[in-house]
Each structure stands twice: as C-alpha cells, then as structure tokens.
Amino acid sequence: MPNRPPKIGLSARLLHTPPKEMGFRNKTLQYLEQSIAHWIMAHGAMALMIPTISSNAEVSRRGISVRSYVRELDGLVLQGGADVCPRSYGKQPMRAEWAGDIVRDRYEMELIHEFVAQRKPVLGICRGAQLLNVAFGGTLYQDIPTLCPGAIPHVDAELYDALHHEIRFEPDSRLGALYPGLSGGLVNSIHHQAVYRLGGDLVVDARSSADGIIEAIRWRGSGYAVGLQWHPEFHGGVQELLDSSPIMLDFLEAARRFRDERG
C-alpha cells in the first residue's frame, strides 16, 4: 500500500519515580509530549510510541524484539527530555545533577542502531540530537556555561521555550537547502548540554550565530539521520520563528522513499 501514511515511531520519555499524587507508586511511566506527536500527525503521518523493554519486564525479548518493532515502522523521532548520561560516551558526570538517564540512553541507542541498520530515517530533537551524536561515537559538553563560558544563555527555566536565538546554516548544508533564500533563522533554546566532538561521519548543518554552539548535525552515510538542538515542534503558530514544516516534510519524504525502495 504505497499511499498509506508513514508510520513514525516516537521514543518514549521515561519517568522513573512519578510523584505520589499521580497514583503510580514504584512504577515507571513511559510517555510522549503531545506537541511532537501533533507535529508528525499534522504532516500526514501516524505517530506511534515505542515502549522500552526492561530487564525484569513480563514481556520477553524473545517474544518481541526491537528489530521486530523497527520492521513495522518507517522512521524514528527521538524526543527531548533528560540529559544524556556522560557514561554513555565514556566520561564521568562532573556534577550529580548532570548524571542523566543511562537507562533511556541505552534504549534509544538500540533504536538508533536498528533503524540505521534497516535503512530507515532518524530525526533527533534536542536530547535526541545529542544522543544521535553519542550513538555515532561523539561526545557532549556536560554544561555549556561551565565549559563554554563565552556562550550565550541556551536555557532559562522561567522563559522555557520563549528563550530564542539566531542560528546560521553552514555552507552547502542540507538544512540550508530546505530554506532557499535564508542564511539561518530564529529558534527556541531549551538545553544546557550540546555537541562537543562530532561522531563518525557526522557533519554540522547549523550553529548558533552568537557563539558557534552546534545546533544541527547530519549523517553523511547512505541513510538519513539528522539532529536538531532546538524544538521545531514548539514553533507552530509563532511567525518569527523558523518554519518547522520543511524539516518534517523532508524527514517524511525520506521515510516514504526508503519504504518504497523496499517495496
């Protein structure tokens, strides 16, 4: 059925210790933020969250595998959320609060590797972009203010997604090609970590205009893997911000193209 809507998997956010008032004592919640699902759905695709399988889960990996999930989907979008654990790229946390979520790291890196192996596109948002870099062998700044003291603020707890800054597209970048006539744009900024050393065969597609912090990365391999440091799903309806539609349309076109190639 070549005309069916693409089925896009969304990695789950994890809440390991829910507040008592939620009524899930000693349980782990897996969830998605609705803006990212709506961004996918608004462009004619289906959004389907991919649950984790923990070591003590009642579901056996022999019964359902990550490979089986990926086989049924056309692409992967990695949500934002908790910090990437420095141990995931061979470092120790400089501060306890930067220890991140290594359980989620392992779950999402397994998804990345399997989607890439099956030649299906991957789009990483904020934390997802950072984890994509780590999955390809790169490293991160654990904290921008500490390790890049000349950088502008990239996160503000009070402003949240109302904190904005300009980015510039790199020459001959794929991202720049999606916005003909523009050299960059205004995006939101909700992160204190960022790409440091690029992973293997990754290139920079955009940087922060003010301080050069990496804002977009792309894989040069035979498939499609893109990471964006900002949250394009939060740009809807804000006219001065970079239009998020070209990014999603490009990703979905890759999903359809790779699906059709497989027949």
Q: Which of 118, 131, 140, 18 is nearest to 74 (CA)?
A: 118
- What whole-number distance in Å separates Cα of residue 118 and Cα of residue 74? 10
pLDDT of 22 over the 90 cut: no
pLDDT band at 57 (very low <50, low <70, confident <90, very high): very low
pLDDT band at 19 (very low <50, low <70, confident <90, very high): confident
Instruction: Supply the range of the domain harboring residue 243.
Output: 7-262
Split into its structural domains, the chain has a count of 1
**Residue 66 domain-assigned?**
yes
- CATH code for position 220: 3.40.50.880
**Residue 249 domain-assigned?**
yes
pTM of this structure: 0.94
What's the rounded mean pLDDT across residues 63-69? Answer: 80
**Residue 38 domain-assigned?**
yes
**Residue 86 domain-assigned?**
yes
**Residue 149 domain-assigned?**
yes
pLDDT of 44 over the 90 cut: yes
pLDDT of 55 over the 60 cut: no
Contact 246, 179 (CB under 8 A): yes
Q: pLDDT tens digits for 145-175?
A: 999 999 999 999 999 999 999 999 999 999 9
pLDDT of 58 over the 60 cut: no
The full 3-state SS of the chain, as one line of letters, equals CCCCCCEEEEECEEECCCCHHHCCCCCCEEECCHHHHHHHHCCCCEEEEECCCCCCCCCCCCCCCHHHHHHCCCEEEECCCCCCCHHHHCCCCCCHHHCCCHHHHHHHHHHHHHHHHCCCCEEEECHHHHHHHHHCCCCEECCHHHHCCCCCCCCCCCCHHHCEEEEEECCCCHHHHCCCCCCEEEEECCCCCEECCCCCCEEEEEEECCCCCEEEEEECCCCCEEEECCCHHHCCCCCCCCCCHHHHHHHHHHHHHHHHHHC
**Residue 223 domain-assigned?**
yes
- The structure tokens listed for 176 are 């720049």
> What percent of the chain has a predicted confidence (pLDDT) above 90?
80
**Residue 81 domain-assigned?**
yes
Query: What are the distances in angstroms from CA 25 to CA 30, 32, 203?
Result: 14, 20, 44
pLDDT score recorded for residue 147: 97
Q: Which of 75, 154, 85 is nearest to 116 (CA)?
A: 75
Q: What is the mean pLDDT of the chain?
A: 93
pLDDT score recorded for residue 62: 55
**Residue 2 domain-assigned?**
no
Contact 158, 108 (CB under 8 A): no
pLDDT of 216 over the 70 cut: yes
Q: pLDDT tens digits for 188-198?
A: 999 999 999 99
pLDDT of 229 over the 80 cut: yes
